[in-house]
Chains A and B, each alone.
Chain A
Amino acid sequence: MNNLLRGLLNLPPQASTYAQDVDLLHYFVISATMLGALFVFLLAIYYLVRYRRRHPRPLTAQVSTAVPVEIAIIGGLLSLFLVFWVVGASQYNHMMTAPPDAIPIYVTAKQWMWKFSYPDGRASMDVLTVPVNRPVTLVMTSRDVIHSFYVPAFRMKHDVVPGRYYTAWFQANTPGTYAIECAEYCGVDHSRMIGHVQVLSQPDYGRWLDGQGVRTAEGFAGASATEGGDLAETGRAVASRNGCFNCHTLDGQPHIGPTWARLYDSQVTMNDGRVLVADEAYLTRSMMDPQVDLVAGYKGVMPTYRGILQEPEVAALVEFIKSLRSQPFQPVIRLPHVEPINSAQRQEPQP
């Protein structure tokens, strides 16, 4: 039944964990659409025939629809639409919330290519390699204009916006190669901005992680070049170069800014009482718009790093902060009160 309807509706394979659920809702909604349109159209045809004009210039009695009938029609339709909404919104929330154990991969889009950076420091162009049956989180940004990361077979899509870092996730359920399309118009070669997701079986993925090439049905899956070591180590160097350690410690000590130790995935209380989870989006937002979310107890003295940090550097920094999630805390030493450095004295970060 699923395959029959999928074929009739011209839908691609269901290669992610949530694809089939989305399609089931799709069948329901589209059936209601077609039956609804057909019912209204046929009812009108029936009235046209049944009450066709028999005399020129006839007179008719005033007939108005009874209010209970109107309420029944409105109530019935509203209930149907609310069912769409409840199911659709809960699926959407599931699709937009990455599971905590997902493998992070950094996506940088530019006109007209996709670049993927993996946690072990490797990178690849236009081919994304992921294991089957493991959730994968994409942390995505763009270097120029808005793009949109779209894998039809996963029923997954998210815009990739310059200056912002959005996360999207999927869990592939069948090994194979699936097209990545850019779905947001981005210039003359928009329709050439095509990539592929290479979903590997667990043994193949193991070999790929070891740096061996993997031969698949579609060809040779990238033994991609490394970018000089571990991504987290690159992140430490980036932090050092940009003066992050002047305010942020790695050992749990509060300083001018909050510590990075055990920061990732922790709950952080803001000075206006909100409690946020320090995920990739939070960390990147704090670099780009530090005044938006001020942690309780700290002053808003951090400058923006927008335009100073390059996209791959941000990815490396986030990965570095994530590597500190299990950093042991040192005993907290209360320092004498230190006046925060004001902006005039602040040393400009090195680009």
Chain B
Amino acid sequence: MTTIDVGVVPVPHREAPSRETYLNVAYTVKSWALTTDHKRIGILYLVTTTFALLLGGVFALVLRTEHLTPDQTIIDAYTYNRMFTMHGIVMVWLFMIPSIPTAFGNFLLPMMIGAKDVAFPRLNLASYYIYVAGVVWVIVALWMGGADTGWTFYAPYSAHSPSAVVPTVFGIFILGWSTIITGVNFIVTTHTMRAKGVTWFRMPLFVWAMYGVSIIQTLATPVLAISLLIVGIDHWFDWGLFDPHRGGDPVLYQHLFWFYSHPAVYIMILPAMGVISEVVPTFSHKNPASYKAIAYSTLGIAFVGFGTWGHHMFVAGISLFDAAAFGVLSMLVAIFSAIKVFTWVLTMRRGSVAVATPMIYFFAFLFLFVFGGMTGVAVATQSLDVHWHDTYFVVAHFHFIMVGGTLTAWLAALHYWFPKITGRMYPERWGIVAGTIVFAGFFMTFFPQFLLGNGGMARRYYYYDPVYQPLHVVSTVGAWLLGAAMLLTLCYLLVACFTGPPAGANPWDSRSYEWYTPSPPPKHNFPAEPVFELDPYDYTVPFPGELKAGGEQAPQEAPHA
């Protein structure tokens, strides 16, 4: 393909340049710091979570560089242990869990249901500052040397670890509040603030994903909060609540931790699925192959996901019956994900598929998610998990599905909604090139780790047997490639924020409701009270045109039938 014809010509800016948007309504620091506008809060979250991604990414690159040689390369064992712990904590709680819901969920959810804001705007701002407080605590913990327990904080090691466990768990405890508040806010918003025409089964699928993830966040996070609080108390006051020498039970801690942390995997991946469910219909210009299959499987994942935590504990001493029950439930939850995958792929059938950066990320997502998901079924197969548990196979599996899934969907979202957020277009060629390198780098980093795990390379090993070195070197080079592509993406997107060509209301010719309003949207989202007559995925008729003040809609140029 010599030229990349995305098939969508940005509609020229129709408004007078003085049109008031959520961006130019005020420029003061105070107008950002004390804003209750869900769009500005979304931007604040986007900036802060991107900072967390950079921090976690630097840790990742140091860790991979350390593994270039079997012995010490650049850091010592204790530093290595603290760094993989902080890498996990920063990536899971500071980036992956909040990334899509708080940035894109906040920005888009009210617009997608035709609301002016979320149900509790001030609570929304509070949740941002609670998140910032949590980030600050984690950084304080880093400054104190960081924890060395692994992001799982397994007792009783976490009670006796010489590192800064208490500030770290306290930081995560605070972050949990932010997550819960955002979840409650989204649930109430979805129930009470849908505009005329937006029935439950006409909500964009991203809203369903946000609804599902909010349920999990609200139900699961308190369990984590309590467990980590007890870990902190055990460490600080030596109460021994999980310490067997005082009558505590370390395996109970694992049950509590995974009761949260397995659903947390779905907290990370459901929003990613929501993004993909928007990107595929828009760029295929077709209705989803089955709207209800995607919506119901979201709820299926949200609920069945609570019954699978024991598959992390097949060798931790659970009964044969428990192991079998958790095994079969884990198979079931994979079915819901498979339904979504087939629905996305079949959506392209008889559509009109454009090649654009979000679609590149959809293809990356598709491969990483299906391969990662199927290896998830593999590690849920009990006898196989005995060999794979706590090896690099598991590391590769969850990086494929959690990180590969969330990161590619986050990048897809960043490009897909970039015109809506900034009112400008990003450079398509750079996007496609960077997206391809991200996929290649990611695959090169983590595919060798499946083979390392097969060979018996245990995870969290600082020294390793020299037979593993060639695969480790490939993995490290892949990580550098991935890091370079991410930096490239950051650079061209930052430039495009200020110099990109104007995008117009609906550059992708989507039917989803957030595209009815001008880009960037006005302060209260829509110039007039919106009434949505079309389905958000109805591509049988032309886009009715963006909403103007006074409620009339401006038609676009004539479409090709």
The reply on A102 being an interface residue by CB < 8 A is: no
Q: A58-B559, A60-B350, A162-B250 are in contact. Are A70 and B339 (CB under 8 A)?
A: yes
Q: Which residues of chain B (330-385) have a CB below 8 Å from chain A?
A: 331-332, 334-335, 338-339, 341-343, 345-346, 348-355, 359, 363, 366-367, 370-371, 374-375, 377-378, 381-384
A48 near B355: Cβ-Cβ < 8 Å? yes
The reply on B157 being an interface residue by CB < 8 A is: yes
A1-42 near B? 1/0 per residue, CB < 8 Å: 000000001111000001001100110011011101100110
Whole-angstrom CA separation of A61 from B134 in the bound complex: 49
Whole-angstrom CA separation of A117 from B462 in the bound complex: 29
A9 near B451: Cβ-Cβ < 8 Å? yes
A79-99 near B? 1/0 per residue, CB < 8 Å: 001101101110111011100
Whole-angstrom CA separation of A222 from B227 in the bound complex: 44
- Of the candidates A33, A48, A87, A185, the one whose C-beta lies within 8 Å of that of B371 is A33
Residue among B157, B161, B247, B560 facing the most chain A CB atoms (10 A cut-off)? B157
| Chain A residues within 8 Å of chain B by Cβ, number | 89
Residue among A51, A54, A144, A189 facing the most chain B CB atoms (10 A cut-off)? A51
- Of the candidates A161, A191, A192, the one whose C-beta lies within 8 Å of that of B251 is A161
Closest Cβ of chain A: how far from B68's Cβ, in Å?
16
The reply on B491 being an interface residue by CB < 8 A is: no
Task: For B539, list chain A residues within 8 Å (CB).
Answer: 58-60, 62
B335 near A51: Cβ-Cβ < 8 Å? no
Mark the stretch among A152-160, A200-208, A223-231 that contacts chain B. A152-160
A163 near B370: Cβ-Cβ < 8 Å? no
Interface size classification for chain B: 35 or more
Task: For A25, list chain B residues within 8 Å (CB).
Answer: 381, 383-384
A77 (CB) vs chain B CBs: closest residue: B338
Residue among B5, B328, B345, B381 facing the most chain A CB atoms (10 A cut-off)? B381
Residue among A55, A78, A159 facing the most chain B CB atoms (10 A cut-off)? A159
A41 near B154: Cβ-Cβ < 8 Å? no
Whole-angstrom CA separation of A156 from B150 in the bound complex: 23
Task: For B391, list chain A residues within 8 Å (CB).
Answer: 183
B351 near A306: Cβ-Cβ < 8 Å? no
Task: For A304, list chain B residues within 8 Å (CB).
Answer: 247
Task: For B284, list chain A residues within 8 Å (CB).
Answer: 51
A162 near B7: Cβ-Cβ < 8 Å? no
Mark the stretch among B90-98, B107-115, B319-327 that contacts chain A. B319-327
B7 near A55: Cβ-Cβ < 8 Å? yes
Q: A9-B451, A10-B451, A163-B250 are in contact. Are A59 and B157 (CB under 8 A)?
A: no
The reply on A68 being an interface residue by CB < 8 A is: no
**Contacts between chains A and B (CB distance < 8 A), count:** 305
The reply on B15 being an interface residue by CB < 8 A is: no
B439-479 near A? 1/0 per residue, CB < 8 Å: 00000000000011011101111111100000100000000
Q: A40-B366, A52-B353 are in contact. Are A161 and B250 (CB under 8 A)?
A: yes
The reply on B40 being an interface residue by CB < 8 A is: no
Q: Which residues of chain A (170-219) have a CB below 8 Å from chain B?
A: 179, 181-192
Task: For A164, list chain B residues within 8 Å (CB).
Answer: 244, 251, 317
Closest Cβ of chain A: how far from B366's Cβ, in Å?
6
B81 (CB) vs chain A CBs: closest residue: A188
A30 (CB) vs chain B CBs: closest residue: B378
The reply on B25 being an interface residue by CB < 8 A is: no
Residue among A9, A40, A179 facing the most chain B CB atoms (10 A cut-off)? A40
Closest Cβ of chain B: how far from A253's Cβ, in Å?
32
Whole-angstrom CA separation of A93 from B324 in the bound complex: 9
Task: For A44, list chain B residues within 8 Å (CB).
Answer: 345, 348, 363, 366
Task: For B291, list chain A residues within 8 Å (CB).
Answer: 64
A185 near B150: Cβ-Cβ < 8 Å? yes
The reply on B561 being an interface residue by CB < 8 A is: yes
Task: For A36, list chain B residues within 8 Å (CB).
Answer: 370, 374
Residue among A59, A179, A187 facing the most chain B CB atoms (10 A cut-off)? A59
The reply on B287 being an interface residue by CB < 8 A is: yes
A29 (CB) vs chain B CBs: closest residue: B378
- Of the candidates B286, B338, B341, B390, the one whose C-beta lies within 8 Å of that of A183 is B390
The 7 A-B pairs with the shortest beta carbon distances in the complex, nearest first, are A163-B244, A152-B456, A91-B383, A92-B382, A88-B381, A55-B560, A33-B374
